[in-house]
Every structure is written in C-alpha cells, then in structure tokens.
A = this chain, B = another copy of it.
C-alpha cells in the first residue's frame, strides 16, 4: 500500500475559465480592484512555497471584513471556483497552498482588528489577520498586563491561523487550539455561525468557556475545510510576579531517554510547563550561523568531524532546551530548587531571571568588542563561565522575551541555513526568499526509549538522503511528543527538491505504518492521512457535504474532498 498518492483529479467545475472570469469580476466589485491581485509577477512572488509542487492560484483576493468573506465565498460557490483561505500566508514548511489549478487564494491579512481585550478575564477577541506582533504591540501600547503566548515562528504569523492549524507555543497557553474560545465562521454555503450557543449581541461566556452548550463544533474548523473563521477569542496569560527561564544542554546522548522520562514525570506533576522543545545540535546550529559562513566540506550534510569543530566554536552541545516557569517569587524559588535537583543529573542547567538577562544585555556590546579583538577574557567568559558562545548569548534576550509573549524574527531565520544569501536582519519571509523547508511531525506517546529509537532511525534516513537532520522533540502535553523534523533544502537545486520530497514521503509512510499520525500536516501528506481510517474519512466527507456542499473551500485540505 503506498501512502502518498495523487489527489483525486479536481472536478471539471473548478476548471471553467468562464467561471473564474465571472468570479474575478464579482470579486473586484465586492473588494475593489486593489484587493484582487492577478498580475503574473505578483502571483509568482506570492505563490512561492517552501514545499515543492505548489500550484499557483489564478488570483489572490484580500477581503476586509467577515461580510466580504461571505460575499467572496458565495460568489465562488456560484461561479464554481474554489477558494483557499489563508490567515497571513506564513504557514511556512507546512504548506496549505491549493492542490488544484484555477484556485483562488484568499488572504485575510486586512482583517486585523483587535476587537476587544478583557484584562480581568484575560482574553482577546481578534480577527484572523492579527499577528503575534500586532497583539503583543497592542497589549504593550495599552498597558494591559497580559501576555499572549507566541511561537518561535514569524512575528507576522496569524494568531488565529496558527491556533486553527493546532500550532504550539511555549507557556501555559501554548496549546493554541485549546486556548481558542468562541469562533465566528463563514461556512462553505455562505451561512455564518458563531460557536457556543449564544445569541448575537449577548456574548455570555462565549470567550471564557470553550464548550458552550450542546455538541462542541469548534473542533470542526481546525485542520479542516468546512468554513472560514473570521473572528475568535484567544486566552491570554496575566503578567506574573516572577519569570525564570532555564536552559539545559546535554553532551552525553545516553541521557536523552531518562531525560524525556523525567520531563514527562515533572510535567505530569505540574512542576514544569508541558511545552518543552528538546533541540538537537544541528537545530541549535541553524540559529547561530549559516552553512556558507562556515566553509564546510562538501555540499551535503555536515560531517561528524565538522560538527565537532562547530561545537567547539559555539558550545551548543548535543541536545538542549529552554523553558520558563512563572508565578509568585516564593513559588518560582521552590520550582527552581526542584528543577535543579531533577534535571541536573542529565546535563548542564542554567537559570535566567530578569536581572541576569538585563545584565547580559548590558554586557553584550562589551562582549562583542572582546570577541572582535579575540580576547582571552571573552573565551573565559563564554567558554568557561557560561559555557556559551557569544552567538548563543546574543540569542538569550530575544528567547527570554519569547517566553513573555514577545515574538522575534531571530528564530525563524534558521530556515535560511543552507541559503546562499545572507539571512535577512528583518522582514523575514522564508517562502518569498526562496528557502526550502518541509516540516514532518509525527505524534508519539512520551515514552523515552521508543521516541529515541524513532528519532535515531529517521535521522539516519536524513543522512542517507544527504540532509542534515533538524530535530526538535516538541512536547505537546505531558503525555505526547512530536519529534518535529525539518528538511531544509535549496529550492534552486532540482535534485535537492526531489530528494527532499522523497525523504518526506518515506518518513510520512513509515510513521503511518507504525500508526503515528502527524500533529500538523501539509499539502504533501494530505492524500494519505486517512489511508487506514476509511470510516473517519467517510464521516468527514459527509460533514463536508453539510457545511460546504459544493466543495468551495480548500477542497483536499487535510485529506477532506
């Protein structure tokens, strides 16, 4: 049985050029010509994808309100074209770009209103165009003492979009879909529903209690194509009295299995947050430098010898992670003691408080000067005292603030590791800059040995395919991890593209054979998600008929027709 097969051919109604032209005319009338993009150059630029095989749409449309979304969806339905809604179009590495010729991509970035924030009840009601950066800036500008959980991904990524695709952050609200509460949805048939069971104009607990009354429908709009979410509530975290970040590095891989088991126990007991990401040497390296800058041998995966040399230079160790605890000072003090006791047996642990981070930030210019003068003091400071390279010390302040809800572009730049261009200092746009990246993230129960065995096998496959293996063992909750692997490749190299896709398919099929689904899945994986669960596929297809009988919205997304 082969896992990744072709999607079933699109029905002819999606191919009528007359229908497309009619739709575009209506769309221009609804949205104004400025918000309907059809120029070939713009289409080419905007449809660049980090995952091979993207099919450019015939147009990008930019509605400015839920009403306009509804009109666009209705027009598409009437004209027989299909519409792929993207919140901000920055789902890099997962790719939910159209699988059919003649599609319309609908970007919701103009819908960027922050409609309401309740400081007491710690939530915000936002539109899908609101980014992590927007939300954080808004909270700071209005002196609201709440933090929005964010990811290491693009600061301009959509808060709702990430939550609906079940992305994961770093704090107590890091399970973004779980922290989503109260949705407004335009269905494929053009109807609008609001989840929870509250009448319009009377919100009740729409934004404070996720389940509402009666059957819970929210889940139907996550990783699916039944509707377009045009508004949603997001839970926020009150600013704590104390924040303590801890960083961990391991040199001895034999400790990774007991470490994972220890993290599971600590998370189950509520001692540490359950959103820890244990990152391998290569993944940390991509934060610090680029392939081109290191004058490495060959043009393929980094050799073990080179990796050792790089480690001597940057001190990144074999496996490492960061996390943060929050609370009252005495609470954090107690947690620090327990964490030190429990995790020190497996590797080296450093704690970072507000004070230490402020000191490092002040010291950074001095350190950089020392570094440029190749001072021994720098060696001592970085190598002996902190056992951190300057490059790693530079990462600490933005990382620390990430745990306070402040997004950074520093992390997502790692995708440029193999790029022949310098990675941009700001306005990072991984896809438009032609970077190649495919994420693969199987869901595995958090038991150390089987997780490690899987990783060990898959990283061998990466090397055999000529790729460095980027791994983050991402805890989704205390019971589940995603060994998240990134295939970083050069889009301009045809053979690398082919090898990247072949590797993805091998990983995807193998994990399915083992009974592991993916926590998020992009276009390449969609056709085979339900390979072994035909009853679920049948039910999802029937639900599609209820919500979107003419398959107007993203047909094929997450395997649903």
Residues of A within 8 A of B (CB): 120-123, 166, 172, 177-178, 187, 191-199, 201-205, 208-209, 211-224, 226, 235, 237-238, 240, 261, 264-265, 268-271, 326-328, 330-331, 333-335, 337-338, 443-447, 476-480, 514-519, 521, 529-530, 532-533, 535-536, 538-540, 542-543, 545-547, 558-560
A321 vs chain B, min Cβ distance (A): 20
A448 vs chain B, min Cβ distance (A): 10
B214 close to A560 (CB less than 8 A): yes
**Complex interface: chain B residues within 8 A of A446 (CB):** 121, 208
- Given B211, B270, B546, which contacts A222 in the complex, CB threshold below 8 Å? B211
A215 close to B205 (CB less than 8 A): no
A-B contact pairs, 7 of them (CB 8 A): A122-B268, A193-B539, A197-B530, A213-B223, A216-B222, A216-B223, A235-B479
A445 close to B121 (CB less than 8 A): yes
B215 close to A226 (CB less than 8 A): yes
Asked if A443 meets B268 with Cβ closer than 8 Å, knowing A215-B219, A533-B197, the reply is no
**Complex interface: chain B residues within 8 A of A476 (CB):** 209
Complex-state Cα separation, A193 to B270, whole angstroms: 33
**Complex interface: chain B residues within 8 A of A538 (CB):** 191
Complex-state Cα separation, A45 to B450, whole angstroms: 53
- Given B202, B334, B477, which contacts A515 in the complex, CB threshold below 8 Å? B202
A464 vs chain B, min Cβ distance (A): 25
Asked if A443 meets B204 with Cβ closer than 8 Å, knowing A211-B177, A515-B199, A560-B214, the reply is yes
B219 close to A536 (CB less than 8 A): no
Complex-state Cα separation, A268 to B328, whole angstroms: 12
- Given B178, B192, B221, B331, which contacts A338 in the complex, CB threshold below 8 Å? B331
- Given B217, B327, B530, B547, which contacts A214 in the complex, CB threshold below 8 Å? B530
- Given B209, B237, B240, B327, which contacts A477 in the complex, CB threshold below 8 Å? B209
**Complex interface: chain B residues within 8 A of A205 (CB):** 443-445, 479-480, 516-517
Extra 9 A-B pairs, beta carbons < 8 Å, given A197-B533, A211-B222: A197-B517, A198-B515, A202-B514, A204-B445, A215-B540, A217-B220, A270-B327, A330-B334, A330-B337
**Complex interface: chain B residues within 8 A of A178 (CB):** 178
- Given B177, B199, B547, which contacts A532 in the complex, CB threshold below 8 Å? B199
Asked if A214 meets B268 with Cβ closer than 8 Å, knowing A202-B514, A445-B121, the reply is no
B529 close to A270 (CB less than 8 A): no
**Complex interface: chain B residues within 8 A of A516 (CB):** 204-205
A171 vs chain B, min Cβ distance (A): 10
**Complex interface: chain B residues within 8 A of A529 (CB):** 197, 213-214
Complex-state Cα separation, A337 to B328, whole angstroms: 11
Q: Which 8 A-B pairs have the closest CB atoms?
A: A202-B515, A216-B219, A199-B532, A208-B479, A215-B224, A213-B517, A209-B480, A334-B334
B326 close to A331 (CB less than 8 A): no
Residue of B nearest to A329 (CB): B334
- Given B201, B261, B269, B334, which contacts A333 in the complex, CB threshold below 8 Å? B334
**Complex interface: chain B residues within 8 A of A202 (CB):** 514-515, 532
Asked if A533 meets B199 with Cβ closer than 8 Å, knowing A214-B540, A328-B338, the reply is yes
A216 close to B209 (CB less than 8 A): no
B238 close to A268 (CB less than 8 A): yes
Complex-state Cα separation, A70 to B99, whole angstroms: 38
**Complex interface: chain B residues within 8 A of A224 (CB):** 214-215
B209 close to A443 (CB less than 8 A): yes
**Complex interface: chain B residues within 8 A of A121 (CB):** 264, 445-447, 479
**Complex interface: chain B residues within 8 A of A327 (CB):** 269-271
Complex-state Cα separation, A261 to B119, whole angstroms: 12
A193 close to B535 (CB less than 8 A): yes
Complex-state Cα separation, A222 to B216, whole angstroms: 7
Complex-state Cα separation, A331 to B325, whole angstroms: 13
A521 vs chain B, min Cβ distance (A): 6
